[in-house]
Amino acid sequence: MENISNVDKLESIKSFQSTIRKLEKTLVTMTQKAANTNLVKKRLKASYIGLAILENDWNQKPHQYSLEDVAEARNVLTGLFPSIENSYAKLKAGSSQRTLLERRIKAMELAVQAIDNLSKD
């Protein structure tokens, strides 16, 4: 993958970790309410895989995911872009929420790029 600054790498990893924490809390809440958790579970798995692929690419940390799981994660992550970008467009420039979404978008783009590179190998 292209040269990514250490700052961008760190922010991307932190962004995925934050996303995972939020999705885990959401899953607990939805499970307690007996709500349908399929979508949250899919997004959580995709986030785990996105993080694992970045850590594998940047820090040579091994991951246990199959190519099928990785391909599905790619589809889930790319499917999130329109709604995140729509939310992003509605936020004020310089707001903390907009910065958070910028980092989340960047992290997801880098994960998708790393998945694409993994598929080529």
Cα-trace Rg, the chain: 15
Whether 26 maps to a domain, the answer reads yes
| Helix, strand, coil % in the chain, rounded to nearest 5 | 80, 0, 20
Range of the domain at 60: 6-120
Whether 80 maps to a domain, the answer reads yes
Average pLDDT over residues 97-117: 95
pLDDT digits (tens, 9 = 90+) for 30-54: 999 999 999 999 999 999 999 999 9
Asked if the model's pLDDT at residue 118 lies above 90, the reply is: no
Whether 1 maps to a domain, the answer reads no
Rounded to whole angstroms, the Cα distance separating 78 from 111 reads: 10
SS3 label, residue 26: helix
Average pLDDT over residues 86-95: 93
What is the tally of structural domains in the chain?
1
Q: Do 10 and 95 meet the contact criterion of CB atoms below 8 Å apart?
A: no
Whether 18 maps to a domain, the answer reads yes
Confidence (pLDDT) at 48? 98
Confidence (pLDDT) at 3? 85
Asked if the model's pLDDT at residue 16 lies above 60, the reply is: yes
